[in-house]
Amino acid sequence: MVKDDPSGREKSSGGEPSLPPGLYIVATPIGNLRDITLRALDVLKAADVIACEDTRTSRTLLSHYGINTATVPYHDHSDSRRRDALLDRVAAGEAVALVSDAGTPLISDPGFKLVREAREKGLRVEPVPGASSVLAALCASGSPTDRFLFAGFLPTKTKARREVFAELGATRATLVFMESAKRLPSSLADMAAGLGNRRAVVAREITKLHETFRDGLLPDLAAAYAEEGPPRGEVVIVVDPPGEAEAPSGEAVDALLQEAFAAGDSTRDAADRVAAETGLPRRQVYQRALALSGR
């Protein structure tokens, strides 16, 4: 039996508020399962079906919140018949929720063709915003956020990566890339060669137990990861836009700090002076000054 709730919205036989027919683009957590909105949970519970990049991956989240909605696979290798079947369900009056393995669907994840065709057919498409590794990395990176370009996953081949950096090198915006952890050392080396001495941040395992944000100049980051080897986990790289002049190399910063020490500056004063001269983050310069002073 279908009953009305106090808000006037009908409830389904399962007790959840019914949804208007449509395709719902639902963001899910990128790591921490608590990073999901209340509205997203409502939609996932009330939808007639959830289209998942991988139903096995999504089941972890759905089980955690006691969501028993039926699931079907939908990914980049799904053919037009699967896409048509989902859109036919929407046209027949059902609510279809689309989720990726993590984060916001379509952001380097499946869904573009499905959304495009839904709009072309005049069907309702409704976003349910939430977690995004791109925005999480950007807002915590310290890079300028007034203008940024998300360039997706980098090509696997060196030549193709270098072509990307040559194309984007003059873009006056913060650049955001996704990358496989195993290719991080070689990609950073290509970035340093193609983009120069820019400040960058490597964000790893965002919202997870081993979350790290590591910032520095591209050549220094490339050298560090080349020595340490690839890290584990998911990686997002944020690169500052080109400045009027390139940031000084790590060796140049060390030389400036040594000059300040020779002039009698304390570690703190030397860091303040060099940070002001170079425009580099004071925290980064201070950590280097501590290392040079032996503290």
pLDDT at 139 over 50: yes
Q: List the helix and strand counts (H, then E) for the chain.
A: 11, 10
Residue 184 near residue 226 (C-beta atoms within 8 A):
no
Handedness of CA 137, 140, 141, 142 (dihedral sign): positive
* Residues 6+ positions from 176 with CB-CB distance below 8 Å: 134, 137, 138, 148, 149, 150, 151, 236, 237, 238, 239
3-state helix, strand, coil in the chain (%, to 5): 40, 20, 40
Q: What is the pLDDT of residue 265?
A: 85
**Checking DSSP bridges between strand 22-26 and strand 95-99, what pairing results, if any?**
parallel
Q: What is the pLDDT of residue 1?
A: 30
Residue 235 near residue 178 (C-beta atoms within 8 A):
yes
Q: What are phi and psi of 64, to 5 degrees?
A: -60, -35
CB-neighbour burial class of residue 47 (10 A; exposed 0-12, middle 13-18, buried 19+): buried
CB-neighbour burial class of residue 66 (10 A; exposed 0-12, middle 13-18, buried 19+): exposed
Q: Encode pLDDT of 157-170 as tens digits.
A: 999 999 999 999 99
Residues 55-81 have a mean pLDDT of 93
> pLDDT exceeding 70 applies to what percent of the chain?
92
Q: Encode pLDDT of 218-247 as tens digits.
A: 999 999 999 999 999 889 999 999 874 456
Q: How does residue 7 score in pLDDT terms, banded at 50, 70 and 90?
A: very low
Q: What are phi and psi of 12, to 5 degrees?
A: -75, 175
Q: What is the pLDDT of residue 287?
A: 82
